Chain A
């Protein structure tokens, strides 16, 4: 198999979203508006220093859409670091996802205003961001007193912020849409920690993977980790067909290599342990090139390639978010001293048995990664840091207002399981509401079926999508498949969410039935099938 030029083609644009509007940096009591028509633009800064932007159509109908952007790195990235080098911290406001013109145009066409801030701090920020949004809603209403309804939506970490806003201040919003929503901090960064720890103990023990020093020294250490992790991924990619191990591998890794364990099987196991999807932007784990690799490619190679692509895509965020949160809570929070990685992969080892090279190899790998092996030392958290982390904002998953979730089935950074968890929790909530309604009937003799308040839009992957060139090598220069990559939505899908939010805020009910099915079909690559189920993040245990 020809070498796959993978790393240079990976997209990280979804992590660091594009921006729309420049804004002043000095806090103002009221926004500065340009008074233009048909769209009036206003900018300002909240009391905590978050720049914001408002755009209000001349035919403003009283509804405003508040958007919360996703995670932005909280440190500048030196130019020499692969993939993400050159990034500068920015808190530029983002009133619609990625500055999407079609979305903005839709809202304006309906007489709906848009608003969004860049938040006061980047990195993991729901605590401050929710407060910022509350203030921003008040500021908007003060500036535009005819405001009657606020709809809120957000992507990735912005999904957490949006859900948090609806949980804490349901009276402020009439409908919300957390899209490609991250899970809470602990499960989300446990996923990152599991993968980084595995890469460290097998492929390069000089990777820190966490427990960074405070302040600038820790930032420098995280830069070093980024380079090392990307280097390891490059070496694994180069040796994917042969199964050779990186020259930086640990003694444990070298022993596995000597025992004939292919490095691709080790990489796949790490991905499965962490819960990284086995479908990626260009690897569907289904297709194979014509010829001798027709069956071998999907059975033995493609799942590892998918982990490589997804893992590389997620690694930067894993390292930098870990450093950021450690800095916030004062020490290491990732702890896998009690993690049973064998249990983590129990359901998947048979499915990917061929790519994992059979039970004998799987058992050898799990033995090497077990807590009993001193050659793979477990990460130990700082209890005080864990306590501080637990005090940071956590969503309960309670649904207070009509809510629309949308997520890619193979999102490598905010797995679909984060949304699945909310779906499952809401099923319990709805059942309880129904039981309460029945109980109330016994005294009032008036029964009202509780209104459904949750719509789940699954962004599905195509049945097969890996492309091969004439020589049988996979093509990674084509756009990422639907349902893969992080927050990889089309304008049509985003507009569908926007329309559904508007409808729900207007009627109090989410779209359903034939009208919804038609709209979903037209948006493309979405499903509302209740039979679809994504696994929760791994640290929750088995919730399949």
Chain B
């Protein structure tokens, strides 16, 4: 029915154009919601408090640090970026309420980097930013479904999909742990469904798969998970969950002396976050991890050095970690999108800019992005690393070897991607 409606409107519009009818004088184009002569307002919902907030609650501060830097250097065509942040506590229904506030009360131009598969899906269903024409930029979830431009026409992913990650993990397992018993801990929702699909495509056979319901993760539940992995004699245990699940598992494992070969998914693999929960750095040592952006300790990388310097000045004393780097990188890409959207950016021109130029935006990522007029796929791969004795993730052998793939049945291949150099002063051209 909606399609019919759209067709009818298009037909009517076409007829009007054909007959050259001046029905009424068109009003001057109204300024875009959230855009004034001096400001562009963006909105973000994510868990700032509660058990799921750990680590992720640094993302807004990181994004603001970059936006403050940008604003101090002229903003976007003279407009300063304002970021309104609301705490959804990782509760989907609360994400709906807070997003409604951002759109209806705060009048933001676009939603930026909302976090969590369930939350983004709840907002898409209940708030319906697509119907409102509100861009949902660079969502902090790797659920592959959000790249469906028919279902989520205003949503743009940025993280590689969980399917891609699982496929790349699977490839690594086949090359390095052939014949070993593999165990998998995964979130029992769409996050986990993506992971299972990726591992299936990669041909990974598990000795044991342990699902956990979102929100149920705790030290007590982790003890139960360990019992299952031990019973299956798993040599390698993949933790494909959120940070609080990873931390609960590693912390409990340390207490129980359980020491399989750990493999950590990127969502729950930030070392700083894990260590903040009291997990000793040594527990992470030699665990295998994956990341689309450089190691956060790699100050030879121009992006890492640039973002790290800005963050240190903006938020003194706060560790520069994966969540911070991803948050700043998202802000950096957003700035480029706004700049590319023209002197008077609109919601439509913003999305058109990402469609046409997003794949060429400068970014710290070591893998390419897949944006085009027909694709809202963000980054498309990972490099593989091991956690050092300090708990920091570093590339195996000291060199980044990146792998790229898709969310379908495409192969996992080594990437030949050449990352664009950072623009002057880290400002959009």
Interface residues of A (CB under 8 A from B): 278-279, 284-286, 294-296, 298-300, 303, 347-354, 357-361, 424, 427-428, 431-432, 434-435, 438-439, 441-442, 447, 449, 463-464, 527, 529, 531, 533, 535, 543-544
Contacts and interface: CB of A to CB of B under 8 A. Distances in A.
A361 B212 CA distance: 11
B52 A354 contact: no
Nearest to A461: B97
B91 A299 contact: yes
Contacts of A352: 92
Nearest to B86: A463
Contacts of B101: 463
B36 interface: no
Contacts of B125: 347-348, 351, 535, 544
B390 interface: no
B227 interface: no
Interface stretch (B5-13, B254-262, B271-279, B417-425): B5-13
A360 B19 contact: no
B201 to A, nearest CB: 19
A303 B93 contact: yes
Nearest to A278: B93
A295 B52 contact: yes
Contacts of B51: 295
A359 B211 contact: yes
Interface in B184-219: 188-190, 192-193, 211-216
A294 B50 contact: yes
Contact of B93 (A284, A296, A435): A284
Interface in B115-147: 117-118, 121-122, 125-128, 131-132
B15 interface: yes
A350 B189 contact: yes
A353 B188 contact: yes
A221 B368 CA distance: 66
Which of B4, B12, B19, B104 counts the most A-chain CB atoms under 10 A from its CB? B12
B25 interface: no
B57 to A, nearest CB: 14
A380 B15 CA distance: 50
Contact of A424 (B1, B8, B50, B213): B1
A464 B86 CA distance: 14
A343 to B, nearest CB: 15
10 contacts: A284-B93, A354-B214, A361-B188, A427-B5, A434-B12, A435-B8, A439-B15, A449-B24, A463-B100, A533-B131
Interface of B: 1-2, 4-5, 8-9, 11-12, 15-16, 19, 21, 23-24, 50-52, 89-94, 97-98, 100-101, 103-104, 117-118, 121-122, 125-128, 131-132, 188-190, 192-193, 211-216
Contacts of B214: 299, 353-354, 358
Contact of B215 (A351, A354, A428, A435): A354
Contacts of A278: 93
Given A353-B189, A354-B213, A531-B131, 18 more contacts: A285-B93, A295-B52, A295-B89, A298-B89, A299-B214, A299-B215, A300-B215, A303-B93, A348-B125, A350-B121, A351-B92, A351-B118, A351-B126, A432-B8, A447-B23, A463-B98, A464-B97, A544-B125
B122 A428 contact: no
A423 B320 CA distance: 50
Contacts of A442: 15, 19
Contacts of A296: 215
Contacts of A358: 188-189, 211-214, 216
Contacts of A441: 19, 21
B200 to A, nearest CB: 15
Contact of B211 (A349, A350, A360): A360
Nearest to B118: A350
A360 B188 contact: yes
A388 B204 CA distance: 57
A452 to B, nearest CB: 15
A132 to B, nearest CB: 33
A284 B216 CA distance: 21
A348 to B, nearest CB: 8
A438 B12 contact: yes
B211 A438 contact: no
B193 A286 contact: no
A533 B134 CA distance: 14
Contacts of B213: 353-354, 357-358, 361
B411 to A, nearest CB: 28
A418 B15 CA distance: 33
A531 B131 CA distance: 7
B211 A353 contact: no
B36 to A, nearest CB: 20
Contacts of B122: 350-351
B90 A295 contact: yes
Contacts of A360: 188, 211
B16 A438 contact: yes
Nearest to A436: B12
Interface centre among B16, B91, B193, by most chain A C-beta atoms within 10 angstroms, is B91
Given A285-B93, A463-B101, A350 B190 contact: yes
A439 B128 CA distance: 33
Contact of A431 (B9, B89, B92, B118): B9
A97 B90 CA distance: 41
A447 B22 CA distance: 10
B140 to A, nearest CB: 16
Q: Find the residue from B2, B89, B92, B101 having the highest chain A CB count within 10 A.
A: B92
Contacts of B128: 531, 533, 544
Of all A-B residue pairs in the complex, the 3 with the closest CB atoms, nearest first, are A358-B188, A358-B213, A531-B132
Given A351-B118, A358-B214, A359-B188, A435 B15 contact: yes
A417 to B, nearest CB: 12
